[in-house]
Amino acid sequence: MSKKKKLILSKAEGLIPELRFPKFSENWDIISVAEMCDVHRGGAFSKADMDENGSKPCIHYGELFTKYNEVITDVFSKTNNSDGFKSEVGDILMPSSDVTPDGLAKASAIMLDDVILGGDMNILRPKGNFNSIFLAYLLNHSKREIIKLVSGTTVKHIYPSQIITCQLPIVNNKSEQNKIASCLSSLDEVIAAHNQKLDTLKDHKKGLMQNLFPQEGEKVPKYRFKEFVKDGDWVKTKLRDLGEFIGGGTPSRANSEYWIGNIPWISSSDISEDDIHNISITQFINKNAIKESATKIIPKGSVLFVSRVGVGKLAINTDNELCTSQD
């Protein structure tokens, strides 16, 4: 098998997929990325070259983190710069620089020709009998193997010479590759459709809130439930008149015994940006920690307001009494 390393496939050793389509039984092999793809670097194209009125579709490496998943069938940006590396259908795009190693273990198969690809990007061009969408999913599944190859301190990098050495499990049967790629991409399409519905609902909620609360300079909302239409104007009230303000604190981390208990303790990072009912509780303290620090018990049903790091985030502790940090 030339350079290929034949595997003795065994479920006990985890060398074959736990889930497999019934008609496939061919052995998987481990081969290097060099045997699967030619690897190129993106061209001399930067974010400054992006132009919404440009004539050529383009992808900046930063968009791989924010706009694209495993399959790219549409491009959002344009440029007039033709100096970048041009895509071919089936190329696999991976960032070559990021502040975290995890960010470099991200692959997207582009199904479009002649898209200008910027710098700080590795382009894997499959050769031979490989489905590029299958490879993109495989690369994303193999994060640990890719992260091992990353170099750099403050900014992390991965270069073509490093990527080509990565060893990955592969099945040579193109039909099985196609089946896996089709299954996963179909699921992504369902997820995308649900996300679109979610975005629509969020927009609907935003519109409702604008109509259910009085706008600046108004004393009644634009929309009011019929049983409250005759209840008169809304009245401005100071927050201090609506309830008691309770501060928080952090028990000393130097005393590990404080952090052995059953009383939930949260900081600002445990409160969600967009869900007032989502509080992540992972840390617990005891009564001694409360007695010997500034933190206090917050009654169930209280409104939690972040005043420092992440200022403005809100939550309601509907389920538990808890303690908070000074944030």
Give the residue among 281, 280, 288, 306 at the shortest CA–CA distance from 251: 288
- One domain for residues 265 and 283: yes
Question: What CATH number is attached to the domain comprising 278?
Answer: 3.90.220.20
Residues of the chain with pLDDT under 50: 1-14
pLDDT score, position 6 = 43
- One domain for residues 268 and 313: yes
Q: Is 312 inside a domain boundary? A: yes
Range of the domain at 87: 21-186
Q: Is 307 inside a domain boundary? A: yes
- One domain for residues 93 and 196: no
At 26, phi and psi to the nearest 5?
A: -65, 145
Q: Has this prediction a pTM greater than 0.75?
A: no
- One domain for residues 132 and 274: no
Give the residue among 90, 103, 104 at the shortest CA–CA distance from 166: 104
pLDDT score, position 15 = 62
- One domain for residues 68 and 130: yes
- One domain for residues 161 and 147: yes
Rg over alpha carbons for the chain, rounded to the nearest Å, is 27
Q: Given 169, 196, 227, which residue is the final one in a domain?
A: 227
- One domain for residues 32 and 155: yes
Q: Is 324 helix (H, G, I), strand (E, B) or coil?
A: strand
pLDDT score, position 129 = 84
pLDDT score, position 82 = 81
- One domain for residues 293 and 173: no
- One domain for residues 178 and 36: yes
Please state the domain count of the chain: 3
Question: Mind listing the pLDDT tens digit for each residue in 121-163?
Answer: 999 999 988 999 999 999 999 999 999 999 998 899 999 999 9
- One domain for residues 31 and 176: yes
